[in-house]
Structures are given as structure tokens and as C-alpha cells.
Structure 1
């Protein structure tokens, strides 16, 4: 099968940036298939980029190389990295944008991209997507081993924003709001396996605390929206395995004033 390389950026499509990245990839690896995940990530929104990547990455063929450029720190001391997981490669800045997906798939190897042999001859300080990340993806697609790109890094050396971590302490799960969709559903960074760890099952009621708003409420944990009456709150595991807070045919976000980045604390009701 031809190598597959995906692109996920906050570039939009009116400028030449995406085309330049594709041109670099194809000039190095003409047989590559390039797929656009999205170029409409909100500008500089690393959290949103990480969320979209975490939703989409797993549906691509094994061995796909995912390139992510949501990079407000471009040109600074932040490192360009490549992560090999059980099934994929992830390339982008060391700012946390790769970690929701890479952690979930299981990190096997991390390299800082430092070898100029696998970059463009001239490196812009403002466009590493074209000059570093796109060439790295193309050379990996051609079979260049990761050890040739640069020094190995430990997972503990990576930049880990708060949205990439969930704390489970006893019977308490603490995470945060990762995304709010167009229906006003509140998507947290808490995954189904976190609920399993503290014995939460469908049919139970959850105590949801939103400490930034001073709100505590009990909500049923159900399989889908229709298990509660219209206008009632609920919680469920969404189609991407995240814990979602919702209102049947309503907006949880609007009712409670929830914003992205707010803390969410989950416990079982007594």
C-alpha cells in the first residue's frame, strides 16, 4: 500500500501554506497519499488540534504518518519531534498537540528532529511545517529509521499541558473541558477507561463538579441522549470515547456557562 500522510493545521486554505507542505512531501516521496484532516483549527488552539487529532487518527491505516502544525511557539526553543506509537507516527511541535493521540495508541519511541539531512536546505524560523515536519514525514514514508532523525527523548521530557492529563485518586476523577461541540455538548478529556477504574457503569448516577463555576449536580450515566427526558441533563461516552456532559435536545454549555479549559471532577453518587 502507498504510504499515507495526514495534515492537520490551523493554516486555513486561503494562503499557500498547505500547498507548500504537500509540494515538499511529494517532491521527496511522490508515491505518498496525502489526506487533509482539517486546516480549520482555531488559530493557535493547541487543545483543539489535539482533540481533533485524537478523534481522527485511529481510523487511518496502520503505519499512517500524522503531521500536525498548530505551533504558536514556532522558531523558539520548543523542539520538533516525531513519535512512533504501536500503529502510527506523529510529527509536530513539542507543545502537547500530539499527546492525546500518541498516549492513547501507546508511545514506543520519541526522537527530536535535528538532522539537517532530513530537512529543507533553508529553515525558516516561522514555517517549520514546510521546512522540518513535511520533509520528516516524507523521509519516514520512504523508510528512513527514526534513529537517523536525532536524539531519543523520554516521554517524561515532553511538554504536557494540563489537557493531556487526567488524575484518578481513589474514587475521584479530575479532568477538564476539552471541547464544546456545535450542539453545546461538553466534551471532557476523561475517557471510558477512567470511569472503569472507579467502577462506574451505565445506569449509575454521577456527581459532576464544575469548581470554576461553583456547580455540583447529579446526572445519569447513560448510553445515549434518548434515555432521559427532553431538557434533562445526562452523561455518556461519546463516539470518540470521551466523557460528554449533555442535555437531551438542549445545550449543556449554554445552561451552565461552561467554557473550554474548566476543571471537571467526577465521582459516583452515594
Structure 2
């Protein structure tokens, strides 16, 4: 069976960027199975990219190569990297997009992509590393090239990590943060379901206390609620509506479990 390569970007579907990356991959490894995870990550939103990648990785076969191109620092001194997670590989920029997947699956090996013979060109575009570096490296990995050949080994602890992706105990309760907002306007926090084993009943945000329930149907239409989503984190939602629009909140805002 050909190896899977997944693509997660903020490119959208209006332009040819995603299709060009697929063309580069298939030109180098025609048997690759290329899977679109998502191309509607909000532009330059590394937090959402990190969260969405974590939701996908566990459901793919071993040795899958996950390519992430949400890269506001493209062309700068930020590192281009590839990671061996043991259950698969990741390729993309060292800007925090791999923060959560590395917390869940500590990398066994990490390299900075310093070997141009594995790129599309030794003179890559300063604005499209997805085409010129990440896509060809993913194709080589999927075709069986060993990670060590792709670049120089670096310490996993040196990777860029995004802030506020966990929670803290405070006098006001357990503080978490918004880590993603999905297509439905559901506001996904960094508070894991395991915290509900303690005696907490509400999520507090912007001075509002929102009750914890089990399902979307446990409150009347257009009412706010908090519940555990399929991802295992507490989220804020509206029965039949959009929680982000109602709350006016943004990714990175603080929340409390009280």
C-alpha cells in the first residue's frame, strides 16, 4: 500500500497553491495517497493548525507523513523541519504548529531540512516553501528516504512551542484558554475532560458563567452551554447557533472552570 501524505494549510481553495503541492508530490512519488485534512485554517493561525493536526494524527496509518503549511515566517530565519513521531512523520515550519502533537507524541528524531537535493530546487521561493521544500521532502519520506538524510539533527526541546496550550490552577478556578474555533462557531478550550472529575459546574468567560451539560440538546435553542467535544476538550457552544458570534471571543482568550 502506498504511503499517505496529508496536507494541512491556510491556503484556501481559491488559488492553485494546494494543487501545485500535490503536483510536486506526485511528480516525485506517483504512488502517494494525498489526503486533504483542511485548507481553511485562518490565515497565519498557528494555534488552530496545531489543534487540528492533533485531531488528525491518531487516525492515520503508521508512517503517514503530515505536511503543515501555516507559515507566516516563510522566507525568514525560522527553521524548516521534519519530525519522526514514532507513529508517523511531520514536515513543516518550526513556528509552533507541531506543539500539541509533540506533547502527545514526543518526537524520536527531529531534523532541520538542510539538504537541498531533497527540495524541488536549491533556490526555493521566499514565499512558497510548501511547494519548494515541504512537499518534495514529504514525497521523499513517503517513498522511504530515511529522515536522517534530509538534514541536520536538532534537539526536540529546541522546537518552538506556542503559549497557553494547557491550563493552570488559580484562586478563581482552573484557567484555560481558547485553542480553536470550529466551522460551527464552537469555542474549543484547552481544558481537558478529565478536569470534570472534580467539583466544577460552569465555564466562566467575559464575566458570564455558562453551565456544563452533556449534549447540545440539553439547553433550549439559541442558549449557551459548555460540554466535552469529540476531541476530549471542553467547548462552548450554542444549541442551533454560533458561540463565537454570541460571545465575541477570539482564539487565545482566557476561560475559567469554576
Counting only pairs closer than 5 Å after superposition, residues 144-223 of structure 1 correspond to structure 2 as 144-163=145-164, 165-169=165-169, 172-193=173-194, 195=195, 199-200=197-198, 205-210=200-205, 213=206, 215-217=207-209, 219-220=211-212, 222-223=213-214
Shift of the 255–41 alpha-carbon distance from structure 1 to 2, 3 Å rule, reads closer
Structure 1 residue ranges without an equivalent (≥5): none
| 1:33 aligned partner | 33
| 2:14 aligned partner | 14
- Tell me how many residue pairs correspond in the alignment: 256
* 1:107 match: secondary structure: coil
Judge which range, 226-235 or 15-24, deviates more: 226-235
Q: Does 1:225 align with 2:216?
A: yes
Shift of the 10–181 alpha-carbon distance from structure 1 to 2, 3 Å rule, reads closer
| 1:248 aligned partner | 239
Matches of 2:100 and 2:228 in 1, distance apart?
A: 16
Judge which range, 166-175 or 11-20, deviates more: 166-175
Shift of the 242–135 alpha-carbon distance from structure 1 to 2, 3 Å rule, reads same
* TM-score scaled by length of structure 1: 0.83
| 2:50 aligned partner | 50
Give CA deviations for 1:195-251 in whole Å, capped at 9, x if unaligned: 26xx43xxx5434333xx3x152623x332233455554322101222112343444
Do the aligned partners of 1:190 and 1:243 also contact (CA within 8 Å) in 2?
Answer: yes
| 1:107 aligned partner | 107
Matches of 1:73 and 1:167 in 2, distance apart?
A: 27
* TM-score scaled by length of structure 2: 0.87
Alignment RMSD = 2.4
Matches of 2:208 and 2:18 in 1, distance apart?
A: 44
Shift of the 120–45 alpha-carbon distance from structure 1 to 2, 3 Å rule, reads same
Give CA deviations for 1:61-112 in whole Å, capped at 9, x if unaligned: 2221010111110000100111221312111101111222332234322211
| 2:119 aligned partner | 119
| 1:79 aligned partner | 79
Do the aligned partners of 1:62 and 1:87 also contact (CA within 8 Å) in 2?
Answer: yes
Do the aligned partners of 1:47 and 1:97 also contact (CA within 8 Å) in 2?
Answer: yes
Do the aligned partners of 1:83 and 1:102 also contact (CA within 8 Å) in 2?
Answer: no
Counting only pairs closer than 5 Å after superposition, residues 58-97 of structure 1 correspond to structure 2 as 58-97=58-97
> What is the CA-CA distance between 1:187 and the residue it aligns to?
0.9
Structure 2 residue ranges without an equivalent (≥5): none
Structure 1 segments, 4+ long, off by >6 Å, are none
Do the aligned partners of 2:192 and 2:232 also contact (CA within 8 Å) in 1?
Answer: yes
Do the aligned partners of 2:203 and 2:226 also contact (CA within 8 Å) in 1?
Answer: no
